[in-house]
């Protein structure tokens, strides 16, 4: 590279600095002033990431005096360029030294960089190409989102998480025994759904005593930053106006708060969610005479949410009627047709339900064929019901 005072150069690494001017040459170093940004850079001449700005006949250039010139001829005088041509506004013939070019000229588009000779080194292209190939392979990996958590996976957790997370808008019941990792399975499913783009807004409803446990687990194991919504958060959001749940993508709140605060429930119901997760779902009680407020709240949210995941280690704790009613949250049409009596209303379960088969199946086995008709999309490692 040959530098001379007054020449115009542009930085390959920092194209947003604008057009630079050579203001100093000292031995092997050159000083470039970028008037558009007010920055000055000192480069080694042999390795300066700079490209000389040179326009060709037929190009239109803008001067620092804010008039444009249609270039007809280019002349080099004392190692600096002089552009000869006509002004575009009045047709006057003028000469413009490159020192007086507009300082705010930039070459950010690929076409401009190509025409001005701002071409990167080939090894940089190779590095970028291999990097994009690596990213593409990671995105196509079937285990994407399932192996990034800070945890030691148990085989049945990986099996269930992989089975559920690959579905679009999964609606499932996870009913592992206590201590088998339902929270981990739910976290893996949420993580994979978010990374794959199948979900972007997630609402988790848990008992109040488990709020901070879920908050810590999601952050520590999956780096998912959920926002806890409580009375204080709603009070702060009320001052700003609008729906407070629209301010966050990942929301965590307690079932008691959702039941007690009608305004919070209405705001949550008006918000679009891609995935609803309910822990300790056996608290959603239902009977022939009355459905609990908790059940009604979750039922309203589940009707408008594509994906629903219920977690409970004791699905039959409040009786089979409540259990089947919770299954209806996942697939209302199917459960109403197969498990509810046609003589009763759509919300009354039949008295002639079939008892559980009581046969246990480990995660590595498949359920019997006659169980598939009753549990089409319902996953339960605890037991399969016939």
What average pLDDT does the segment 339-366 reach? 39
Per the CB < 8 A criterion, the answer to whether 148 and 191 are in contact is yes
Q: Which residue has the tokens 């506004």?
A: 89
Q: Which residue has the tokens 């690596």?
A: 134
- Residue 155's SS3 state is helix
Axis-axis angle for helices 182-196, 155-165 (nearest 10): 40
Cα–Cα dist 84/69, whole Å: 8
pLDDT at residue 93 in the model: 92
Q: How many CA atoms lie within 13 A of 238 on its CB side?
A: 9
- β-bridge pairing 171-174 and 93-97: unpaired
Q: Which residue has the tokens 């609803």?
A: 276
Give the residue, 278 or 346, on which the prediction is more confident.
278
What average pLDDT does the segment 345-374 reach? 37
Q: What is the dihedral of CA 235, 239, 245, 250, to 10 degrees?
A: -80
Give the residue, 375 or 114, on which the prediction is more confident.
114
Cα–Cα dist 343/272, whole Å: 35
Model pTM score = 0.58
Per the CB < 8 A criterion, the answer to whether 251 and 245 are in contact is yes
Per the CB < 8 A criterion, the answer to whether 382 and 316 are in contact is no
Tokens representing 333 are 């049409």
Q: What is the dihedral of CA 116, 121, 127, 129, to 10 degrees?
A: 40
Tokens representing 203 are 């609402």
Strand order of the sheet with strand 60-62? 60-62, 68-77, 80-87, 93-97
- Going 175 to 331 to 289 to 291, the CA torsion angle's sign is positive
Q: In 3D, which of 62, 76, 75 has the Cα closest to residue 84?
A: 75
Strand order of the sheet with strand 50-52? 39-44, 29-34, 19-26, 8-11, 50-52
Range in 57-61, 126-130, 169-173, 353-357 the model is least confident about = 353-357
**How distant is the alpha carbon of residue 245 from its chain centre?**
17
Give the residue, 273 or 241, on which the prediction is more confident.
273
pLDDT at residue 292 in the model: 87
* pLDDT tens for each residue of 107-135: 666 766 676 666 777 888 899 999 999 98
Tokens representing 118 are 């701002």
pLDDT at residue 83 in the model: 94
Per the CB < 8 A criterion, the answer to whether 41 and 51 are in contact is no
Give the residue, 41 or 159, on which the prediction is more confident.
41
H/E element holding 136? Answer: helix 122-140
Per the CB < 8 A criterion, the answer to whether 340 and 307 are in contact is no
Question: Which phi-psi region, left, alpha or beta, contains residue 159 (left: φ > 0; alpha: ψ -120 to 50)?
Answer: alpha
* pLDDT tens for each residue of 332-348: 876 555 544 444 444 44
Cα–Cα dist 87/94, whole Å: 7
């Amino acid at each position: 590279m040959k530098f001379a005072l007054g020449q115009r150069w542009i930085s390959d690494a920092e194209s947003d600095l604008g057009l630079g001017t050579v203001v100093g040459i000292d031995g092997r170093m050159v000083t470039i002033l970028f008037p558009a940004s007010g920055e000055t850079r000192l480069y080694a001449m042999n390795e300066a990431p700079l490209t000389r700005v040179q326009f060709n006949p037929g190009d239109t250039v803008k001067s620092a005096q804010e008039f444009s010139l249609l270039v007809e001829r280019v002349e080099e005088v004392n190692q600096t360029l002089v552009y000869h041509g006509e002004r575009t506004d009045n047709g006057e013939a003028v000469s413009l030294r490159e020192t007086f070019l507009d300082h705010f000229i930039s070459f950010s588009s690929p076409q401009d960089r190509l025409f001005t000779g701002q071409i990167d080194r080939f090894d940089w292209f190779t590095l970028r190409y291999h990097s994009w190939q690596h990213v593409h392979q990671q995105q196509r990996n079937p285990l994407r989102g399932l192996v990034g958590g800070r945890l030691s996976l148990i085989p049945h957790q990986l099996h269930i998480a992989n089975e559920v997370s690959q579905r679009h808008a999964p609606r499932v019941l996870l009913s592992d025994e206590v201590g088998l990792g339902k929270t981990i399975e739910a976290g893996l499913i949420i993580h994979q759904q978010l990374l794959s783009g199948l979900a972007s807004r997630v609402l988790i409803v848990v008992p109040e005593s488990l709020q901070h446990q879920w908050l810590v687990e999601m952050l520590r194991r999956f780096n998912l930053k959920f926002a806890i919504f409580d009375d204080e958060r709603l009070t702060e959001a009320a001052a700003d106006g609008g729906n407070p749940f629209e301010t966050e993508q990942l929301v965590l709140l307690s079932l008691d708060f959702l039941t007690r605060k009608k305004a919070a429930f209405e705001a949550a119901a008006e918000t679009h969610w891609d995935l609803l997760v309910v822990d300790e779902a056996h608290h959603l009680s239902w009977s022939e005479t009355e459905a609990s407020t908790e059940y009604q709240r979750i039922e309203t949210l589940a009707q408008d949410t594509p994906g629903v995941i219920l977690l409970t280690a004791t699905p039959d704790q409040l009786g089979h009627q409540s259990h089947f009613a919770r299954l209806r949250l996942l697939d209302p049409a199917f459960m109403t047709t197969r498990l509810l009596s046609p003589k009763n209303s759509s919300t009354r379960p039949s008295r002639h339900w079939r008892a559980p088969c009581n046969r246990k199946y480990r995660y590595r086995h498949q359920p019997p064929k006659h169980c598939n008709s009753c549990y089409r999309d319902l996953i339960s490692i605890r037991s399969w019901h016939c």
